[in-house]
Structure formats: structure tokens, C-alpha cells
Amino acid sequence: MPKLKSKSGAKKRFRLSAKGKVVMYHSGMRHNLRKRSQKTKRKARGNSIMADADARIVRKFIPYA
């Protein structure tokens, strides 16, 4: 069976934790921050674990992660 290719965008955006969960960073923290509330910016800091339904899709994009 041939090797599977990873999606380049997924390689840059997601990684797997030690337990195999998909770790993601929140969106909306690059520019135009003055129009977002402080609460929104605070909640988007750092990373978080992706929901299982979405993680199933992303795991196919990064087969060897």
C-alpha cells in the first residue's frame, strides 16, 4: 500500500496530544482585534482540544501525526 499524503494546511494548524486528541488554536486572533471584546480575546488565547466529531475529520488529514 502506498504512503498517504498529509494535508499541508492541517499540518500547520493541528497537532496531536500525547493521548491522541487533536489540539487546535482559536481563530480570530491575527488582526482587527480592536473590534473584538476583551472577553472574546481572552477566551481565544492559547489552545484547546477539538470536539470529537471534528477531530475525526482532521485525523484523516494527518495520518502519520
Whether the Cβ atoms of residue 4 and residue 64 lie closer than 8 Å to each other: yes
Whether the Cβ atoms of residue 3 and residue 51 lie closer than 8 Å to each other: no
Neighbouring CB atoms inside 10 A of 56's CB total 11
Whether the Cβ atoms of residue 41 and residue 33 lie closer than 8 Å to each other: yes
Write the pLDDT tens digit of every residue in 1-58. 899 999 999 999 999 999 999 999 999 999 999 999 999 999 999 999 999 999 999 9
- The predicted pLDDT at position 21 comes to 97
- The predicted pLDDT at position 65 comes to 86
Q: Is the full-model pTM beyond 0.85?
A: no
Whether the Cβ atoms of residue 7 and residue 61 lie closer than 8 Å to each other: yes
DSSP secondary structure of 32-45 = -GGGS-HHHHHHTS
For domain 8-61, give the CATH number.
4.10.410.60
